[in-house]
Chain A
Amino acid sequence: MDNAIVSTQESAVHEAHEHVSLPQHRHHFETEEQQREAGSFGMWLFLLTEIMFFGGLFFSYLLYRNWYYPAFAAASNQLNVPMGAANTAILITSGFFMALGVWAAEMRKRQMLVWMLVLTTVFGCAFIGVKYFEYKEKYELHHIPGANFSVAMFVNPQNYPQYPDTYSEKPLAPDMAQKTQVFFFLYFAMTGMHALHMIIGIGLLFWLTWRAWRGDFSSGYVAPIENFGLYWHFVDIVWLFLFPLLYLINRHPLH
């Protein structure tokens, strides 16, 4: 019964608000609806530019993967699938809380929105943390392109009994093994660009959390939350393409 009363009160609030102009309504829009539609349309277009931006990297990856297939298959076997899978789960969870946050904003639940944004941030940071350990592992194995890069693991896998994945690998010819460096260039460029988007997103999340806590989004003005949600889901989706492309395809059976 209590619930029923609350919900009618809420709808009454909705009614009242429809006739009051929000302070965030900008003068050059005829209606708030128009403003909201324009905002989300603009966000979708921005995401389209992001797709084109990442598209250049994906195109390079596909091209070189096609050219240097053995090197790419061997190098991708060096990536840490459990960590990548964990990160996928972390990111999907973060996206789930973001979606709940958008819902909370639309329902004008201030406290829930703040909590959801905090949880989104926590899981976003967890992703970056896991990524740090992955990068660290690559550093220790001399798989970071540059002067320190070593193809030893790909030319003489039999010397690495401590890494079962590597040990069972067929050795690559030295010139093909050099091409694993191209894989790692692209691996760092693509995951690095993705991580940069995550970090920008986390920065924005701090700002939005502060605004949500202040109550900016508790009176029906939810465009920033919705549009940020779109951005955050987009960053998730990029990872959902990166993970299989970099870690999973043509992977040898796990030991």
Chain B
Amino acid sequence: MSAHTIVSLPDQSTAKLPKVNYLNNEHGLLSWLLTGDHKRIAMLYLVSITFFFFIGGAFAGLIRLELLTPQSDLVAADTYNKFFTMHGIIMVFLFLVPSVPATIGNFLIPIMVGAKDLAFPKINLLSWYLYVIGGTLTLAALVLGGVDTGWTFTTPLSTHYLNTHVLTAATAIFVAGFSSIFTGLNFIVTIHRMRAPGMTWFRMPLFVWSHYAASLLMVLGTPVLAIAIVLVALERIFGIGVFDPAKGGDPLLFQHLFWFYSHPAVYIMILPGMGVISEVISTFSRKRVFGYTAVAFSSVAIALFGFFVWAHHMFIMGVSNYSALVFSLLTMLVAVPSAIKIFNWAFTLQKGSITFETPMLYAFGFMGLFTIGGLTGVFLGSLGMDIHLTETYFIVAHFHFVMVGGMLMAFLAGVHFWWPKMTGRMYPESLSKLAAVTTFIGFNLTFLPQFILGYMGMPRRYAAYPPEYQVLNVLSTAGATVLGVGYMLPLLYLAWSLKYGAIAGNNPWQATGLEWQIQSPPLTENFTEIPIVDYEAYDYERLEKMTKNEVTTVG
């Protein structure tokens, strides 16, 4: 037991910040804005997505404030529509989709496969600029007066009935979509072509596998969203009737095209998060991930099945009974690879030497909340239940359990896990544990009542509701406040740690990945020489032997 615990860290007490690293080898704003270094681009992304996360979060706060009372008294109903639309657009397209891949993935994938950089550094930088342009256009739509289509741009509402800034927001999403395409393309090429000698597919960390699967979805799905948006724009500008029933078009076609991207997008969001959890669970139970191959292939299976379930968003919208039946079945099938992951993480924990560092707390949060989110997804996938629950707060609670309870927990787990690698410094451990627990409590308080509200029939996207729903709504708003505190805390202490945090050393968690065998923060080209990989991922015994040998040579 004691041989495996990581309480007293040998290299941390004597650790010093390396004199040369990717953060300080060049100075000035331009060296950041014109950089090709994947780690610097990752940091640019981290700053910008954090910015948008808090804007999106502010809208969530306003939504919850409005729902504190049954009447629509804080804002008028159309303003409320603009609030939840902005909340959705920002959180989905500007936070969740790029969150883990563009920050942590960008930082780590080249290091994990043993490369100096991503295959196309300039395209990587371009994708950040596209993201910024998309974000700016979104803010422009907001400042100019807002959009009230909902983040789904449902036709004919978005094409015929609204004169808000639909085109601006649509352009923003179109541009941000290309940012995501380029990130995915870069990852796939890097994983195929840039692996270090000996780094076979089944020696790659599961983080890389899950990013590979998510990248496939980005590359194949996002263009379909792009064409759907182009058609909406053409419909608004020229009145072409592809989605207009009066001219023979079909509004349902838009939904098919939209959800053909936007359902896989859910897996674009969650798969990278699952990769983070695999790394964290393995490291803090000091065990190889149970069923490595099954977990790796389950990522690919999720990506594959994820493409064939989109119509479950449209069960009540006039798809045929037969296709509803097939899509219901396929939807339940996605639960299988997701469950494989959850079970394998549970078996990884079994008989492991578990320690409860901050990333591990977030990972536990992920496992619990994602399981609830995933299982309620099975409820919604079954046709009879879906007709009762669709467009209610049950849906809202379900996807927030997956997206916020799952993905955001995974994102924070990842940020806390690799923060020492990214910055070379540790954050205050007790404060971060407090934040993790606060987030978990706040989250459950916010979204568990929404399951009940939805089951009782409260519809989503309304500013007012019958007074008998107020108690649960008040609970939910109170929870959102706690949750807000839970998200503010990391912002504060992580910023603090940049200057005052303890020096982390190369491998504070005694983890096995290639990224932990180099200095923190890493050099600009990551490795002084390209590693030759002749061992499996998650080989803790090998790491232990290596550490012992190091000590004897020094002594």
- Residue positions of A touching B, CB distance < 8 A: 26-30, 34, 37-38, 41-42, 45-46, 48-50, 52-57, 59-60, 63-64, 68, 145-146, 178-179, 181-182, 185-186, 188-189, 193
Contact = CB atoms under 8 A, between A and B. Distances in A.
A45 B530 contact: no
21 contacts: A27-B525, A29-B194, A38-B120, A38-B193, A42-B123, A49-B220, A55-B223, A56-B257, A56-B260, A60-B231, A60-B242, A63-B250, A63-B253, A145-B238, A145-B241, A146-B239, A181-B241, A182-B242, A185-B242, A189-B242, A193-B230
B228 interface: yes
B300 interface: no
B224 A53 contact: yes
A50 B226 CA distance: 10
B248 A68 contact: yes
Contact of B193 (A41, A60, A193): A41
Interface residues of B, number: 43
Given A181-B241, A185-B242, A38 B119 contact: yes
B219 A48 contact: yes
Given A28-B117, A63-B253, 7 more contacts: A38-B119, A38-B120, A38-B190, A42-B119, A52-B220, A54-B227, A64-B250
A48 B115 CA distance: 25
Contact of A41 (B117, B192, B228, B234): B192
Contacts of A29: 194
A109 to B, nearest CB: 29
Interface string B119-143: 1110100000000000000000000
A56 B227 contact: yes
Contacts of A60: 231, 242, 253, 257
B241 A185 contact: yes
Contacts of B193: 34, 37-38, 41
Given A28-B117, A30-B530, A56-B224, A45 B188 contact: yes
A125 to B, nearest CB: 25
Interface in B171-215: 181, 185-186, 188-190, 192-194
A146 B219 contact: no
A50 B190 CA distance: 20
Interface in B230-245: 230-231, 234, 238-242
A34 B247 CA distance: 52
Given A28-B115, A38-B119, A49-B222, A64 B248 contact: yes
A52 B264 CA distance: 14
Nearest to B37: A28
B115 A182 contact: no
A241 to B, nearest CB: 15
Contacts of B186: 42
Contacts of B116: 27-28
A38 B219 contact: no
Contacts of A46: 185
Given A56-B257, A57-B227, A146-B239, A181 B192 contact: no
A38 B189 contact: yes
A45 B190 CA distance: 12
B249 interface: yes
Nearest to A183: B248
B247 A38 contact: no
Determine the main DSSP class of A at the interface with B: helix
Contact of A189 (B120, B228, B231): B231
B481 to A, nearest CB: 42
B238 A146 contact: yes
B158 to A, nearest CB: 17
Nearest to B118: A28
Contacts of B231: 56, 60, 189
B221 interface: yes
A38 B454 CA distance: 49
A56 B228 contact: yes
A186 B242 contact: yes
Which 8 pairs show the lowest CB-CB distances between chains A and B? A56-B227, A53-B223, A28-B117, A28-B116, A52-B223, A185-B240, A38-B119, A38-B193
A177 to B, nearest CB: 10
Interface string B242-266: 1000011110010011001000000
B241 A52 contact: no
Contacts of A179: 248
Contacts of B250: 63-64
Nearest to A54: B227
B253 A49 contact: no
Contacts of B181: 49
A49 B185 contact: yes
Contacts of B256: 59
B463 to A, nearest CB: 34
Contacts of A185: 240-242, 249
A188 B239 CA distance: 13
Nearest to B257: A56
B96 to A, nearest CB: 20
Q: Most B CB atoms within 10 A — which of A28, A41, A42, A45?
A: A28
B227 A53 contact: yes
Contacts of A30: 530
Given A27-B525, A28-B525, A52 B221 contact: yes
Contacts of A186: 242
A29 B193 CA distance: 10
A64 B222 CA distance: 23
A30 B195 CA distance: 10
Contacts of A27: 116, 525
Contacts of B227: 53-57
B248 A49 contact: no
Contact of B249 (A48, A182, A188): A182
Nearest to A184: B240
A70 B157 CA distance: 30
A181 B117 CA distance: 51
Contact of A42 (B120, B220, B223, B257): B120
Interface in B301-317: none
A189 B240 contact: yes
Contacts of B260: 56
Contacts of B247: 178, 181-182
Contacts of A63: 250, 253
Contacts of A49: 181, 185, 219-220, 222-223
A186 B234 CA distance: 11
